[in-house]
Amino acid sequence: MTQSILLFGKSGQVGWELQRSLSVLGHVTALDFDSQDHCGDFSNPDGIVQAVRALRPDVIVNAAAHTAVDKAESEPELAQLLNATTPGVLAEEAARSRAWLVHYSTDYVFDGSGSRPWVETDRPAPLSVYGRTKWEGEQRIQQSGAKHLILRTSWVYAARGATTPDLARPRLASLLPPDALHGLEAATALLADAIADHRHIVVVGDFDCDGATACAVGVRGLRMLGARRVSHAVPNRMVHGYGLSPALVEELKKKALVIVPELNYLGQFSSILRSMGINAVSITQYTGLPFKEQFLV
């Protein structure tokens, strides 16, 4: 008898790939927040319960979540609902119907310290709203009595996104124009002097796929401008913790005269770097940050 699989979060990176990989294991019903036949919207926990009762799956796979780490800081109630409350309700319904629940969580439930890979028995110590709500979701699932499997991912990638110029143009159009970047002239002068003096420039990338991509673009662009000594550093979470951590800064101090952090929340560390005697340029196009240094400082 073919087993029935109910997948939530079908349009996300993980969910998109799971639709294909799960199809060989049984009949898959894949839902997302805008599904019409059955509710896949995690902001509606009652609707999620009704979907499970209507479909009566053998296995429930939850790849739905509030995954915008920075944005979760400004909307903690929504992150709580999507990452903790509704997964808990889903687990209770899975227990009632005797279905297996496979739930995707994150290594953000840890604080990023340590020098070895995490194991299941390590004590969580989340530092962000995203991490705290995902950890609470895990706890609610564990306490529900449902048969469950929780997978803590480190980072994910998929063969999906802006793969053609037409898909990329709307995203590029949303970027800030150069005249909206604060401190542009000072940053440009710092980089120009570094290039002219053949100083060592290190481009620091975020650990996610977008940060690594921006890091590669930054290295290539600086070389095209004539920089001779350009290298890159993408933090290893197991060694350096999260983002531009003190451990990574100490390592970079041995190598770099100029550091260019790329993307997202790394920009908040530029003032710290400068206080340590490191010439720092911070560049980001992300506008939803809760701190002052949003653009280019």
Active site residue 130: yes
Residue 57: pLDDT band by 50, 70, 90 thresholds?
very high
Enumerate the domain spans of the chain.
Answer: 4-153, 165-280
Q: What is the mean pLDDT of residues 267-291?
A: 51
Q: Is 232 left (phi over 0), alpha (psi -120 to 50) or beta?
A: beta
Give, for 72, the enclosing helix (H) or strand (E): helix 69-72
Provide the pLDDT for residue 276.
59
For the stretch 75-118, pLDDT in tens is 899 999 999 999 999 999 999 999 999 999 998 898 877 777 88
Which token pair is 113? 């310290």
**Over the stretch 116-153, which tens digit does the pLDDT of each residue have?**
788 888 889 888 899 999 999 999 999 999 999 999 98
Tell me how crowded residue 167 is: count the other CB atoms within 10 A of its CB: 10
Within this chain, domains 4-153 and 165-280 share the same CATH topology? no
CA–CA gap between residue 65 and residue 45 (Å, rounded):
13
Q: Kindly tell me the burial class for residue 253, based on how many C-beta atoms sit within 10 Å of its own C-beta (0-12, 13-18, 19 or more).
A: middle
Q: Is the pLDDT of residue 54 over 60?
A: yes
Q: Does domain 4-153 bear CATH number 3.40.50.720?
A: yes
pLDDT of 273 reads: 57
Check whether 24 has a pLDDT greater than 90.
no
Closest CA to 270 of 240, 291, 247, 290: 291
Per 3-state DSSP, what percentage of the chain is helix, strand, and coil (rounded to 5)? 45, 15, 40
Q: How far is the CA of 70 from the CAs of 12, 65, 275, 290, in angstroms?
A: 17, 14, 25, 8
What is the identity of the amino acid at 210?
Answer: D
Query: In this model, does residue 167 exceed pLDDT 80?
Result: no
**Distance (Å, whole) CA 257 – CA 277:** 10
Across the range 260-270, mean pLDDT stands at 48
Q: What pLDDT, on a 0 to 100 scale, did the predictor assign at position 290?
A: 35
First to last CA, the chain: 61
Mean residue pLDDT of the chain comes to 79
pTM of the model: 0.61
What local confidence, expressed as pLDDT, does residue 111 receive? 82
Active-site position among 104, 130, 242, 265: 130
Beta bridge partners of 105: 152
- Return the CA Rg of the chain: 22
Torsion of the alpha carbons at 149, 151, 152 and 158, rounded to the nearest 10: -160
Distance of CA 155 to the CA centre of its chain: 7
CATH architecture of structural domain 165-280: Alpha-Beta Complex (3.90)
Strands 230-233, 148-153: pairing kind: unpaired
